Structure 1
Amino acid sequence: MGSERVIKDGDVERRSVLLYNIYRLVVLTSLLISAIIIQFSSPESEPNLPFYYLLFGAYAFSAIFFGLNVWGKGLAAQAYVQVVFDLLLITAFVYISGGLASSMYFLYLFPIIAASLVISGRAGFLAASLSAILFGGLADGLYFGFIPVFRPEHAVKASLGSMLVTIFIAWGVFFVIAALMNKLTGSLRRTREALRAAERELLVRERLSEAGRVSASLAHEIRNPLAAISGSVQVLKKELALSDEQKELMAIVLKESERVSHSLDQFLDFALPAKQVFSPINLRDILDETIKILRAGGELNGKVVLEGNFRTADVPYVGNAGQFKQVFWNLIKNAIKAMPEGGRLRLEFPEPRKKDVRIVVADTGRGMGPEARANLFQPFYSGFEN
């Protein structure tokens, strides 16, 4: 049955409670039509007036339930009250239609199904339990004489064994239906939640796609004058006689222009990704090339000790070499930044499992805080100041 939870109004839909009320009216109307047909087919029989009183009383309560549904408050409480009302009503129908000899105890199934669909699977089991108590109590009371027989002239005296068999069969049906509905409603709830999540994700993707197109256009507008500024500074640097301080300022301008241009390129790759080309590659070779570039740039120095089987592992794969190089570059640079005083960096290719490839990049740095973990897959997020 899963973990228990408190059913609140937000868990019960107004439309579902309304449909439950409509279904009750359909069942009541079917019973009324059946009673009228039976009455006309046997004109000599006396009309069962209490049966009609119960029917019209149920119609009156249904009208009240409709009004409460329009009010829209306390939907969970409304649903529970309607289930209990229906079970009491059905017990009364069973009583006036012959008790154990009545064929109307199948009506108990409707509130059990409704409780499961409208409220929860657990509510369906509660409805089945209450049905078992009411029907069992009515049967025992009639058999042992605690409850007077409604029409003694039509009473059928059953044996104790027959009574118990009828009760146990009814109980079994009640709880089997509750179990089946619990399984069904659980599946429906998971499907509904998955659909809602998919709808939210689709909406977010559409908004991001539109924002990406606008941002990409803006990035192009920034990159063009940025390239002009960078080119002009390079020309001025070559043609003018600059002091050391001015050369240093020029170098800063060029370096920052290159950094901004690189960031714009990364953003454009994310916002408007090009069609990826996949080809046979070896991840060991790509990782080795990335390490050489980092060593040549001085970012990977003697303070960081490399460990693992990355030099000897043979890892053939089909993918995009450029993207893997970027992934290795980002992971190793982040590991280096996390160990400003140096440390050990493990680069490992564990044994592949079936068709997947695992790559381990583990450092002895400061680790990731809650904020960094929460934003792990957010584009352009960095846990470092620089």
Structure 2
Amino acid sequence: MTDSSRQVRSPLRRKLLWLAAVRVMTVTILLGSGALVQLRTPDLWPVTPFFFLVGLSYALTATFLLIRARVERCRWLIDLQLATDAVVISAVVLLTGGVSSYFSILYALPIIGASILQFRRGGLLVGSLSALLYATVVVGQYQGLFDFLVTAWPAIGQSPLPPWTLACYMAGLDIFGFLAVAVFSGYLAERLRTADASLARASTEIADLQAFNQHVIESLTSGLATTDQHGHVLTFNGAATHITGLAGEEAFGRRAFELLQLPPAFERALEGTVKGSRRADLRFTRPGGRQIELGLSAAPLITPDGRAGFLFLFQDVTETRRLQRKAAAQERLAAVGEMAAGIAHEIRNPLASMSGSIQILRQELPLSAEQAQLMDIVLRESGRLNDTIKSFLAYARPQQISSRRFDLSRAVNDTALLLRHGPEFGEGHQIQVHVPEVPVWVEADEDQIRQVVWNLATNGLRAMPGGGILALEVQVGAEDAMTLSVRDEGVGMPPDELDSMLQPFHGTFAQGTGLGLAIVHRIVSDHGGEMQVTSVPDAGTTVRVRLPAPTAAPSTARRPPTGVQ
């Protein structure tokens, strides 16, 4: 926007332009009337000074238009313009008969202009100046102050003057009129200014309120749409655009019932609703073809004049419904698990009695070789079944965590020592332990963490039936979080098995129960840790367990470094 356009937009400069236009129009009327009078009644007025004043008025108008840009900084220029107008009008009145001049009414123009531009102060100031100048003209006529003008232009004094008493009366009426115009125009200007200020404040407050309401609507996380009485969309906030994938321009003017893919029955029910709202859960197809679940609430939009339309509030509840279905499924599985755990517990007791009885019978009865072999099979399978039930009970009924501070490195070393003397350790196996030289303190249930190390290491040894290196490593990472890594060189797993390897009874070893990794995952989750598994077929598997740091650490004592054992 240019400077000139800014000047036009300024209220004060706009008023100055109107004042200049009125001045030019008045001067032009004076010029035309003077020319007409000169043609019909020669020598009635002095032509030369009259037209000089007209030309001077044009020149002053042009000058004031050129300096109007400075008016806002120099307000006294407005007073100078209006005072100059009063002086020029006084000169015109003097040239056209003084107290008998019909042009004394022109004093009202600068007075009203001063009230508009400078309000009450300006009106009273110019009104007082006009009264003073007019009184000077009248008194000067009767006191001979302007005889030199009569000598130069005899037409000034050719009209007889009224008696002094009548002149004072006429001048008094004119002066009273000037001051009355100043008072009333100033009063009206002040009232207008007050009204404009109140209107500006009200407009600003309304604009702020509208902006605030718009911000509130756009800040809603739920989709919001309003319609007219026929259901055509009037408002469609940003959340509605995000949920439906439809821009506001696409939604405006369309019927909300079709836009939100509502069934006809819902529309009929909503149109019959007087108070309250209607709720619906529906499937919505976005423009790209993706289906989502919407939770929608609709109600009539009531105004003081009655019903004005409808209000729709909706949310994308796809993830919420998925979690609810998952939670319901988990509750059913938990109930089944509790029942299965109870059944397993009831099976375990008679199983122990059966196993004990068979052991006694094998020892006391004379058996043939085949009978003894059958007895051994029964005892072995009973023991395997008992181990399976024990593992299942450990998974289905997890024990309460009894946290205490212990050295994770020592627990790993102890487990490695037990593994070397366990049944899973073969001739081709090697166990490497890499732990820091100082104790690594962790606050957890020591028995359960030892079970984690044992299960992971046992799986690693079983994955290397032909031998290989099993590496156990403890690291202290950022923010003192501990990471336990178990790496083997076994058969590995394909990527499609990694997602299901932590599920119960998903075992890959003939002699396993399929619950080892599931129990590990449950224990790690209960301790607030994380578990990560990476595997490459025929290259090995690495399991990393990350445990949170303890709340405080005691003083550490150095231990000799541990390497290949």
| Bin for the TM-score computed over the shorter chain | 0.5 to 0.7
Q: Secondary structure at the match of 1:350?
A: strand
1:40-97 CA-to-partner distances (Å, cap 9, x unmatched) read xxxxxxxxxxxxxxxxxxx3xx4xxxxxxxxxxxxxxxxxxx7xxx5xxxxxxxxxxx
| Structure 1 counterpart of 2:227, from 14, 21, 24 | 24
What is the match of residue 97 of structure 1?
A: none
Higher strand share: 2
| Structure 2 counterpart of 1:356, from 474, 481, 501 | 481
Q: TM-score, normalised to structure 2's length?
A: 0.37
What is the match of residue 267 of structure 1?
A: 392
Counterparts of 1:197-346 in structure 2, within 5 Å, are 197-310=322-435, 312=437, 314-346=439-471
Paired letter, 2:474: F
1:307-335 CA-to-partner distances (Å, cap 9, x unmatched) read 34148562221212221222112211211
Residue 124 (1) aligns with residue 247 (2): yes
Post-superposition shift, 1:368?
1.3
Distance change (3 Å), C-alpha of 1:112 and 1:322: closer
C-alpha distance in 2, partners of 1:229/1:264?
15
C-alpha distance in 1, partners of 2:352/2:463?
33
Structure number with greater CO (CA < 8 Å, separation at least 6) is 1
C-alpha distance in 1, partners of 2:507/2:347?
23
Distance change (3 Å), C-alpha of 1:233 and 1:310: farther
Q: Secondary structure at the match of 1:346?
A: strand
Distance change (3 Å), C-alpha of 1:115 and 1:322: closer
C-alpha distance in 2, partners of 1:190/1:278?
43
Post-superposition shift, 1:223?
0.9
Distance change (3 Å), C-alpha of 1:213 and 1:374: same
Structure 2 gap segments, 5+ residues each:
1-221, 254-293, 295-312, 512-565
Maintained 8 Å contact 2:415/2:454: yes
State, as a whole percentage, how many aligned pairs show the same letter. Answer: 34
Post-superposition shift, 1:125?
6.8
Counterparts of 1:47-86 in structure 2, within 5 Å, are 59=230, 62=231
| Structure 2 counterpart of 1:373, from 498, 502, 505 | 498
Distance change (3 Å), C-alpha of 1:313 and 1:192: farther
Paired letter, 1:305: Q
Maintained 8 Å contact 2:407/2:442: yes
Post-superposition shift, 1:214?
1.1
C-alpha distance in 2, partners of 1:342/1:189?
61
Q: TM-score, normalised to structure 1's length?
A: 0.52
Number of equivalences: 232
The structure number with the bigger radius of gyration is: 2
What is the match of residue 262 of structure 2?
A: none
Maintained 8 Å contact 1:313/1:349: no
Distance change (3 Å), C-alpha of 1:237 and 1:353: farther
Structure 1 gap segments, 5+ residues each:
1-15, 29-58, 63-81, 87-106, 132-184
Distance change (3 Å), C-alpha of 1:367 and 1:268: same
RMSD of aligned alpha carbons: 3.4
Maintained 8 Å contact 1:115/1:127: no
Maintained 8 Å contact 1:348/1:361: yes
Maintained 8 Å contact 2:404/2:445: yes
